[in-house]
Amino acid sequence: MQSYSIFSLARHALSGHKNWRPAWRAATPRRRYKVIIVGGGGHGLATAYYLAKVHGITDVAVLEKGWIGGGNTGRNTTIVRSNYLWDGSAALYEKSLKLWEGLSQDINYNVMYSQRGVLNLGHNLQDMRDIRRRVNANRLNGIDGEVLDTAGVKQRVPFINTSADARYPVLGASWQPRAGIARHDAVAWGYARAADDLGVDIIENCEVTGVRREHGRVVGVDTTHGEIGADRVGVVVAGHAGVLADMAGFRLPLESHPLQALVSEPLKPMLDTVVMSNAVHVYVSQSDKGELVIGAGIDAYNGYGNRGSFQTMEHFLTALIELYPIFSRLRMLRHWGGIVDTSPDASPIIGKTPVDGLYFNVGWGTGGFKATPGSGWVFAHTLATGEPHSINAPFSLERFHSGALVDEHGAAAVAH
C-alpha cells in the first residue's frame, strides 16, 4: 500500500499528483470466498478490515450494489458519541468511540475525527433529571460526561437562545467532551483502502439478488455478477435489511423510514461543538468547510424513496430558529434523505439468524455512523468465531422473543 504522509504528499507534488494509485483495486469476484459481506458501507468495510486484521481472515469479499460511500455512510450528519444509558449500548458505542480515537493512525487515512464534544440540551425538569441519571450511568460505565447548567451551555455556545421566556427554555445539558464529528466519506474510503490492502476483494456495482441455502445453511449468494459461494455470509445493510431477510426466508422487526438532513451555506467558524436537542428536536454542527450540518427525526411513514416530506424539514428548521435566532436568515444549500431501518427498541440487531452461517448486522436506525468501527469490530468477531462477542450478545434477534430489549428510545440522549 502506498502510505499516506506529508512526505508522500510532497513527493507526489513534484510529479504533479499524476502518479497516485487508486486507493483500492477494482476486484472481479471469484467463484467462492470464506466470508462474503453484503453491503459496502462503513459498517461492512469495517467488518472486512477487522476480519483481516484482527482475525487473519483475508478470503473475504465485500459486495456493494452501488459505489463505496454512496449509501448512508455518505448521507449522515457525522456525529460520534457514546453517552447511551443502558450498559449494553454503552459498551458497544464506547468500544466504537475508543476505536475512533485511534482510527486515522490505524488505517493510515485521515478520517478527521474532531473531538469537539456534544451537548444534549434539557428543556424541562424531567429532561434535567434524565440527563443527570444518564450522565451518572455513563460515568459508572467509564464514559466521560458532565451536567451543565444554563450558564455552562451559554459559555460554550454564546448565541444559543437561553432567555427564560423561550418556549422551550434551555435549563442545561449533558456534555460529552470526547464526542465529536468525523468525515464520513473518509471513513468509507479509509476502511476500503485498508481492507483491500490486507487482501479483501471490494466489488462495487454488484447487487445481491438471492441468498442460497442448503439444508438450512447458507452456501452463497446470487448477484448481478452471478453466483458466489461462501462458508459464511454477513449482511450489513441499511434501508434494505428486510428485503435481504425476505430472500433468506425470515422476518425482521424492522421498518424502513426516510431520514432527512440539510446543509447550509458556508459561514465563518462560529460553532465549535455539536448541539443536540431532544425536546425541540434538531441537531447541528459546523463542518470544516463552514457549512452547518442540520438533522432531526425520521419521517413517520415507511418509505424506501430516499426522500421525505417537506413538513418534516419545516419542523426541524422551526426548532433550529427557536434555539438559534441568529440562523433565521441562513440559506440552505443542499438537502437529502437516506433510508434507515428502525427497530422497536431503537437498538441494532447484530448476530445470528435462523439460517446457519448467515449473520445480520442491521437495524441501526438513525444512529449508525457513530458505531461504524465498533460495529465492524464486534461483527468481525461474530463472523470469525460463529458466536457473538460479549459486547454484541445483548443485540441478538432472539431478544424480541425473550423480551430482553435494549430500550434506547429516549434513553439514548435523543428521540428516535
Partner 1 sequence: MLLITCPWCGPRDESEFSYGGEADIVRPPEPEAIDDAAWADYVFMRTNTRGLHREQWVHAHGCRRWFKAERDTVTYDIRATWPMNEEAP
Question: Which residues contribute to the site for partner 1 (CB under 8 A)?
Answer: 240, 242-243, 251-256, 300-305, 309-311, 341, 344, 400-402
Measured between alpha carbons, how far is residue 158 from residues 121, 154, 320 in Å? Answer: 14, 5, 15
Q: CB of residue 204 vs partner 1: minimum separation in angstroms?
A: 22
Single-letter amino acid, residue 85: L
Q: At what angle do helices 372-385 and 184-197 cross, to 10 degrees?
A: 30
Residue 239 vs 376, nearer CB to partner 1: 239
Q: CB of residue 237 vs partner 1: minimum separation in angstroms?
A: 12
Residue 156 vs 307, nearer CB to partner 1: 307
Residue 272 vs 314, nearer CB to partner 1: 314
Q: CB of residue 401 vs partner 1: minimum separation in angstroms?
A: 5
Residue 141 vs 256, nearer CB to partner 1: 256
User: For residues 271 and 284, is the Cβ–Cβ distance under 8 A?
Assistant: yes
User: For residues 315 and 360, is the Cβ–Cβ distance under 8 A?
Assistant: no
User: For residues 348 and 408, is the Cβ–Cβ distance under 8 A?
Assistant: no
43 φ, ψ to 5°?
Answer: -65, -45
Residue 75 vs 257, nearer CB to partner 1: 257
User: For residues 278 and 410, is the Cβ–Cβ distance under 8 A?
Assistant: yes
Q: CB of residue 178 vs partner 1: minimum separation in angstroms?
A: 34
Closest Cα partner for 138 from 98, 170, 94?
Answer: 94
Closest Cα partner for 368 from 88, 81, 51?
Answer: 81
Residue 113 vs 364, nearer CB to partner 1: 364
User: For residues 359 and 211, is the Cβ–Cβ distance under 8 A?
Assistant: no
Q: CB of residue 252 vs partner 1: minimum separation in angstroms?
A: 7
DSSP secondary structure of 90-108? HHHHHHHHHHHHHHHHHTT
Residue 47 vs 342, nearer CB to partner 1: 342
Q: CB of residue 363 vs partner 1: minimum separation in angstroms?
A: 11
Closest Cα partner for 176 from 342, 370, 348?
Answer: 370
DSSP secondary structure of 283-319? EEEE-TTS-EEEEEEE-SS---SS---HHHHHHHHHH
Single-letter amino acid, residue 366: T
Q: CB of residue 240 vs partner 1: minimum separation in angstroms?
A: 7
For the purposes of burial, counting CB atoms within 10 Å of the CB of 335, is it exposed (0-12), middle (13-18) or buried (19 or more)? middle
Residue 211 vs 276, nearer CB to partner 1: 211
Closest Cα partner for 195 from 325, 336, 37, 343?
Answer: 37
For the purposes of burial, counting CB atoms within 10 Å of the CB of 274, is it exposed (0-12), middle (13-18) or buried (19 or more)? buried
Q: CB of residue 374 vs partner 1: minimum separation in angstroms?
A: 25
Closest Cα partner for 72 from 345, 281, 415, 336?
Answer: 336
Q: CB of residue 264 vs partner 1: minimum separation in angstroms?
A: 22
Q: CB of residue 116 vs partner 1: minimum separation in angstroms?
A: 35
Cα(161)–Cα(151) distance, integer angstroms: 11
